[in-house]
Amino acid sequence: MPVITVSRQRGSMGSYIALEVARQLDLSYLDREIIHSVAREAGVEPEAVQAIEERAGRLARTLRLLGARPKLPSLASASLREQASFDAHVRSLMEHESLSQEVAVARLGGDAGLDYLPRLDYLELVTSVILEQAEQGQSVIVGRGGQMILHGRPDVFHLQVIARFETRVYNIIQREDVKWREAAHRVRLADEQRAGYMRRFYNVDWLDSSLYDMVLNTDRLPWHTAVDLVMEAVQSLEAAAPDA
């Protein structure tokens, strides 16, 4: 320890808590956008059908090149980073292929469902990345079923961050500069997708508190206070470990 997995409802500030914990404890940080980046660097696209052996070899080489401590993202929210990446791809297609924005978006739209409904070969890639990161230790792993992939390991602390629907919608409005209706849609969609991902691949209810060592509700709890609570819990467990 510390290896910390973080599950969070969208808009609960969970990504911000996770990133700040990583900064203060000097841990590496892994979330879905970083995993996707590793896949791209390894030449592995989620929709591609390639031999597992070939993927594993290329993945291992890429992880070694990236090193054990990838740079912490400047922006906590993976959703915002993914949107920025998507917008950049749209602009690139418009510029280099003389496409309209509508056509460029439609061309990229085919990948929209892959994040939460991946092929099983992509799930194996995600599992490999998370296991590799956990073996290196000193990591915060956000989302992607980390609480199940690393379930039962005594060296891993599992955290979930939640908040009321209204709180999360308000946070999305403030963070993403959208109206209430759009923010509510994004929160509901994220809830459905994350619940479906965990149910489909791990047959669990992602809101089952027994999956976690700590569940934090940020309705009234300031996120910086949540950071302090997580660090205190992790450090207490680390101090109490048999080999500490």
Burial (0-12, 13-18, 19+ Cβ within 10 Å), 156: buried
Query: What DSSP assignment string belongs to 58-114?
Result: HHHHHHHHH-SSPPPPSS--HHHHHHHHHHHHHHHHHHHH---HHHHHHHHGGGGGG
Per the omega criterion (within 30 degrees of 0), is the bond before 154 cis? Answer: no
CA distance 157 to 147: 9
**Which pair of structure tokens corresponds to residue 195?**
């619940």
Biggest alpha carbon distance in the chain?
Answer: 62
Query: How is domain 3-72+118-235 classified at the CATH fold level?
Result: Rossmann fold (3.40.50)
Q: What is the residue-level pLDDT of the chain in tens, covering all 244 positions?
A: 688 999 999 999 998 898 898 889 888 888 776 666 655 555 555 444 333 334 444 444 455 444 445 555 555 555 555 555 556 655 665 676 666 666 655 555 544 333 434 455 567 777 887 888 888 888 888 888 889 999 988 889 999 999 999 999 999 998 888 899 999 998 998 888 888 888 888 889 999 999 999 999 999 988 889 999 999 988 888 777 666 5
Phi, psi (degrees; rounded to nearest 5) at 99: -100, 155
CB proximity list for 86: less than 8 A, separation 6 or greater: 108
